[in-house]
Structure 1
Amino acid sequence: MMLDWRLEKTLFLLAVQFLTRLPVPRDLEFSDDLLVRATKYYPLVGVLVGSIGAAVLWVFGLWVPHAVAVLLSLAATLAATGAFHEDGLADAADGLGGGLTRERALEIMRDSRIGTYGAVTLGTTMALKVAILMSFAPLLAGVMLIAGHGLGRMAAVHVIATTDYARDKGAKFTVPTVTRDGYRVALATGIAILAFVTLFAGLTAALCAFVGATLAAQVFRMIFVRKLGGYTGDCLGGTQQLGEVGALLAVLMWL
């Protein structure tokens, strides 16, 4: 069966629109069904965001110290996504840490204000990213920026595919889901990311990145499933962030 490249382009751009602040055509076709089908491109969007960070890291690394280039690359990825996933991590941490009951945890996650749990979790996560990337040589740091963003979003797609949604499905927004074929496409993107890491850092580094991202995401998944009975959008943001850090940390531990 031949691919409808016009449709696939629309799905990819919808994923870009949903996950980032990057410009897309204003006349982009939209529907709940298309938004669900666009989920398969989340890891590819991660590669795009990570590539922006890597480009900033490598270009500015020609003129400024590595530590400064790392911070600028982080700022670039935050600007590209509007801190979308970081906000989810903070809200999830506030809800899971401060909500004594499932209902209270879900209520806290709806609050846009950041609390103590969210601030500490987000601050620690961001500090870990910077510290780890500063520990890598510039080339590897850029490669892992691309891989971490892609694998983190692959971990989020895996949660969507294997976990129930925690909130009322009668809500007035599209519940994040992924089709069976869409999950295969996302998985194939993850495999391509591992091949990319293998090319520049070796097979062991690629395996470490995969195991690290998977373990971090699954540990977090166990926490929110136990507390909420499923995932929320904030949990997916947290999954992406922790999967990204898990990939970076595992490679650092291997080196």
Structure 2
Amino acid sequence: MTILPVASSKPADDGAVARATWALPVAGLLVGLAGALVYKIASRCGLTANLAALLALATTALITGALHEDGLADTADGLGGGRTRARKLEIMRDSRIGTYGTCALILSFGLRWSALATIANPWAVTLALCAAHAGARAGVPAFMSLVPPARPDGLSASAGSPPGRSVAIAFALGTLVLALALGPGKALAGLILLSLAGLLLARLAIRQIGGQTGDILGAFEQLGEILILLVAAALLGGH
């Protein structure tokens, strides 16, 4: 889930990626901490909350190789621009970005940036970023398990379906981080919003392209980040 180099003694075998999805919230926590560190340094250097928030977002996008942002843009272009299932899938594989994808990225960065700038306090921003990145990834294994792949090839199909143990561990880890960062009440609100967003996206993906793809998973993660940061802004803003 990041571009950070990780030593491996052997290639991943069939199903290894699916089994490892339990660790997605852990990867998200590390990404969130990296963004929070940059925010803290920027604040210490006298930069405004607006500029610090932009630098934090740039850091998280850099560490992940903008993987999830790319998925969001491709999903918006494909589901919004294609008329047939085949055409939608073709658009989603096209490396070029269209109007729908551009608008989706502007909204994603704009909402996340505004939420972080509203929170402002570096410690509160750290809690919000950790909650958003861990929580948004916690539901990805369940989404992969419940929604079938839209095509027999591609990133999602090759990864396979996560086993129940990986789904449960990821959900538990994400819930734990959310509860510790935001408190039980706001964590529950975040989980409910994330679940509703997942259900709506799953229904849309199944109706339009027959299931999920790697791009759909990226879009789901982005929706999760946005919703959790908005919940955090409502809770932590001005504190």
TM-score (norm 2): 0.90
- Residue 60 of structure 2 aligns to which amino acid in structure 1? T
Percent of paired sites with the same residue: 39
1:245 to partner: Cα distance: 0.5
SS at match of 1:32: coil
Question: Which digits, 9 at most, give the CA deviation of each residue in 1:14-65, with x for residues without a partner?
Answer: xxxxx11012115354222322211111121111111111111122211222
Question: Which digits, 9 at most, give the CA deviation of each residue in 1:182-213, with x for residues without a partner?
Answer: 1111112112212322xxx4332222222232
> Is this contact kept in 2: 1:43–1:153, CA < 8 A?
yes
> Is this contact kept in 1: 2:16–2:159, CA < 8 A?
no
Question: Which digits, 9 at most, give the CA deviation of each residue in 1:154-189, with x for residues without a partner?
Answer: 122221121111112599971442011111111121
> Is this contact kept in 2: 1:67–1:134, CA < 8 A?
yes
Q: How does 1:193-204 map to 2 (within 5 A)?
A: 193-197=177-181, 201-204=182-185
Q: Distance in 2 between matches of 1:50 and 1:128?
A: 16
Report the CA distance shift for 1:181/1:216 in structure 2 as closer, same or farther (over 3 A).
same
Q: Distance in 1 between matches of 2:48 and 2:146?
A: 43
Aligned mate of 1:77, from 60, 75, 79: 60
- The alignment of Structure 1 onto Structure 2 pairs a total of residues equal to 234
1:119 to partner: Cα distance: 0.7
Q: Which moved more, 1:76-85 or 1:213-222?
A: 213-222
Q: How does 1:1-255 map to 2 (within 5 A)?
A: 19-25=1-7, 27-63=9-45, 64-138=47-121, 139-168=123-152, 174-197=158-181, 201-253=182-234
> Is this contact kept in 2: 1:51–1:145, CA < 8 A?
yes
TM-score (norm 1): 0.85
> Is this contact kept in 2: 1:212–1:250, CA < 8 A?
no
Q: Distance in 1 between matches of 2:43 and 2:8?
A: 35
Two-structure CA RMSD over aligned residues (Å): 2.1
Report the CA distance shift for 1:29/1:217 in structure 2 as closer, same or farther (over 3 A).
same
> Is this contact kept in 2: 1:212–1:249, CA < 8 A?
no
Question: Which has the higher relative contact order, 1 or 2, with Cα contacts under 8 A spaced 6 or more apart?
Answer: 2
> Is this contact kept in 2: 1:52–1:76, CA < 8 A?
yes
